[in-house]
């Protein structure tokens, strides 16, 4: 008796955190529909990541997309917890993934550590990288891009940097647009969340996780400053990876700094990744997070806290800081926020241009990403497949109209 052949499998790897899901899972769902003879498998770590993958699968009606949970060995999890270094268990986790999923026709990842799969059992497997985020900081891990056979980025900015800074051959690069924008535009309800029961302008504080460039060291002082004034509400919504290094007691202590009707501290809810805060706030306060560009989908006032005393003016890694007002200390913040609001009209055009350069044409990005991947692998799309993504429900004009009302009160 002959054994039926298993369908070819494309493996999408989600081990970097829930914040990466909306940047790549919509591409996996679109591939499931465009190439029905292909087994698309999303291997993931963590219940939060799995829950978001389930949402994408349901939203995009991609029932054939397989979800496969995986965890690193117990010893490496204990070591990561002991050292407060979550990424220390990634290599044991990747080794386990390579063993559980031998021989995929490609491995597709939104982070660069997965390049190690090449040395852990997938030596001849094509490796494809989709960039998550659209920031300027060009981390050292970008050197690993050369390990990938295909690199898919949102827009021109990343292509230019990959070629000029990292020496990547242009032929290995593709631009698809910002997948997260494309996906969320289809699923979100019209209107924005009302975060507070008053009409004070809302400031979104969004520090980066890397202590070398983050203002998180000043977060308590920022909260204290806003607690002593009456003009602005504050949402403290740092990068999800900050919560990874906190003990439950530390996380509880941060959450206790919330003040009903004035200050909201959120370290780990889905609102940190689904742009709820980025859409509801009227003013951005951050440092080096690429979420600045998600906020600027609607041009609005932006302020940057230079806690690490960077000489930023001529450094391309701080290009985003030219889109707002830079404060050199917590004591300068309220004046900087006032100035950013008062002068935003002079900054809006530059913000729009920077956004286009960073994220490209985002409508339809999920399907384009699937088609780019399929073409690279020599796959033929199902001629009768339905449009896996559509054109994106709302354009920039609708976003601007929403923001106009929010900023008028600032």
Find the CATH number of the domain harbouring 294. Answer: 3.40.50.2000
Q: CA-CA distance, 367 to 387, in Å (whole number)?
A: 8
Nearest to 160 by CA among 147, 179, 173: 173
239-278 residue pLDDT tens: 998 998 888 999 999 999 999 999 999 999 999 999 999 9
Spatial neighbors of 335 by CB under 8 A, at least 6 apart, are 327
Question: Helix crossing, 21-34 with 365-376: angle to 10°?
Answer: 60
Claim to verify: residue 144 and residue 214 sit in the same structural domain: no
Give 345: exposed, middle or buried? Use CB within 10 Å, 0-12, 13-18, 19+: exposed
Q: Which range (183-192, 195-204, 239-248, 363-372) has the least confidence?
A: 183-192
Q: Dig out the tokens for 406 from the structure.
A: 């929010």
The whole domain housing 292 covers: 202-355+398-407
Based on the fold, state whether residues 154 and 224 are members of the same structural domain: no
pLDDT band of residue 110 (cuts 50, 70, 90) is very high
Q: Count Cβ atoms below 10 Å from residue 175 Cβ, excluding itself.
A: 20
Q: Residue 259 has what DSSP assignment?
A: B
Confidence (pLDDT) at 389: 40
159 and 276, same domain (yes or no): no
The residue-averaged pLDDT of 206-218 equals: 94
Same domain, 223 and 158: no
Please give the Cα distance from 101 to 113 (Å, whole number).
Answer: 17
Compute the mean pLDDT over every residue in the chain, rounded to the nearest whole number. 89
- Is the Cβ–Cβ distance between 278 and 295 less than 8 Å? yes
Banded pLDDT at 6 (limits 50, 70, 90): low
Instruction: Tell me if 283 sits within 8 A of 337, measured CB to CB.
Output: yes
Between 410 and 167, the more confident residue is 167
pLDDT at 18: 94
Cβ neighbours around 349 below 10 Å, total: 10
Tell me whether residue 3 is in a domain: no
- SS3 of residue 129 by DSSP: strand
- Mean local confidence (pLDDT), 83-93: 75
Domain contains 42: yes
Is 192 a domain residue? no
Dist CA 107 CA 117 (whole Å): 9
Which two tokens mark 102? Answer: 């031998």
pTM: 0.89
Residues 282 and 262 in one domain: yes
Number of domains comprising the chain: 2
Same domain, 218 and 236: yes
pLDDT in tens, 156-177: 999 999 998 888 999 999 999 9
Distance CA 71, CA 206 (A): 29
Say whether both 338 and 258 belong to one domain.
yes
Domain-located, residue 196: no
User: pLDDT grade, residue 398 (50/70/90)?
Assistant: very low
Same domain, 210 and 166: no
* E-assigned strand segments in 334-401: none
Express as a percent the part of the chain with pLDDT over 90: 72
Residue 373 within any structural domain of the chain: yes
**Backbone dihedral angles phi then psi of residue 244, each to the nearest 5 degrees:** -60, -30
Q: Pick the more confident residue, 218 or 74.
A: 218
Residue 104 has pLDDT above 90, yes or no: yes
Could you report the per-residue pLDDT of 14-42, keeping only the tens digit for each? 999 999 999 999 999 999 999 999 999 99
> Measured between alpha carbons, how far is 359 from 392 in angstroms, rounded to an integer?
14
Coil, strand or helix at 282:
coil
* Residues 286-301 pLDDT 10s: 999 999 999 999 999 9
Residues 219 and 131 in one domain: no
For residue 382, what pLDDT band results from cuts at 50, 70 and 90? confident
Same domain as 218, residue 148: no
Are 351 and 367 in the same domain?
Answer: no
Residues 43 and 112 placed together within one structural domain of the fold: yes
Question: Tokens at residue 209, please?
Answer: 């996780």
In-domain check, residue 233 = yes
Residue 123 lies in a domain: yes
Answer yes or no: is 384 within a domain: no
């Amino acid at each position: 008796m002959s054994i039926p052949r298993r369908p070819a499998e494309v493996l999408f790897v989600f081990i970097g955190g829930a914040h990466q899901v909306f940047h790549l899972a919509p591409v996996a769902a679109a591939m499931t529909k465009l190439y029905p003879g292909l087994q698309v498998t999303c291997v993931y770590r963590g219940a939060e990541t799995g829950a978001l993958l389930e949402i994408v699968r349901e939203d995009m009606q991609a029932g054939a997309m397989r979800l496969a949970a995986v965890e690193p060995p117990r010893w490496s999890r204990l070591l990561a917890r002991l050292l407060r270094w979550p990424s220390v268990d990634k290599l044991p986790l990747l080794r386990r993934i390579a063993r559980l999923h031998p021989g995929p026709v490609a491995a597709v990842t939104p982070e660069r550590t997965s390049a190690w799969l090449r040395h852990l059992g997938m030596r001849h497997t094509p490796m494809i990288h989709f960039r998550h985020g659209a920031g300027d900081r060009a981390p050292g891990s970008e050197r690993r891009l050369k390990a990938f056979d295909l690199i898919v980025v949102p827009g021109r900015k990343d292509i230019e940097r990959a070629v000029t800074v990292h020496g990547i051959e242009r032929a290995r690069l593709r631009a698809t647009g910002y997948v997260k924008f494309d996906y969320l535009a289809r699923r979100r309800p019209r209107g924005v969340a009302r975060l507070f029961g008053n009409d004070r302008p809302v400031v979104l504080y969004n520090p980066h996780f890397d202590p070398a460039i983050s203002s998180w060291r000043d977060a308590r002082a920022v909260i204290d400053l806003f607690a002593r004034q009456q003009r602005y509400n504050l949402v403290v919504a740092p990068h999800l990876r900050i919560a990874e290094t906190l003990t439950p007691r530390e996380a509880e202590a941060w959450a206790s700094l919330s003040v009903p009707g004035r200050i909201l501290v959120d370290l780990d809810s889905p609102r940190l990744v689904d742009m709820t805060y980025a859409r509801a706030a009227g003013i951005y306060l951050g440092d080096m997070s690429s979420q600045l560009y998600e906020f600027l989908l609607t041009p609005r006032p932006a302020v940057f806290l230079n806690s690490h005393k960077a000489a930023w003016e001529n450094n391309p890694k701080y290009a985003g800081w030219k889109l707002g007002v830079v404060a050199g200390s917590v004591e300068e913040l309220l004046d900087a926020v006032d100035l950013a609001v008062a002068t935003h009209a002079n900054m809006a055009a530059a913000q729009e241009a920077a956004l286009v350069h960073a994220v490209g044409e985002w409508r339809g990005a999920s399907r384009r990403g699937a088609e780019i991947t399929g073409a690279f692998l020599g796959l033929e799309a199902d001629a009768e497949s339905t449009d896996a993504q559509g054109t994106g429900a709302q354009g920039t004009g609708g976003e601007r109209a929403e923001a106009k009302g929010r900023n008028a009160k600032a």
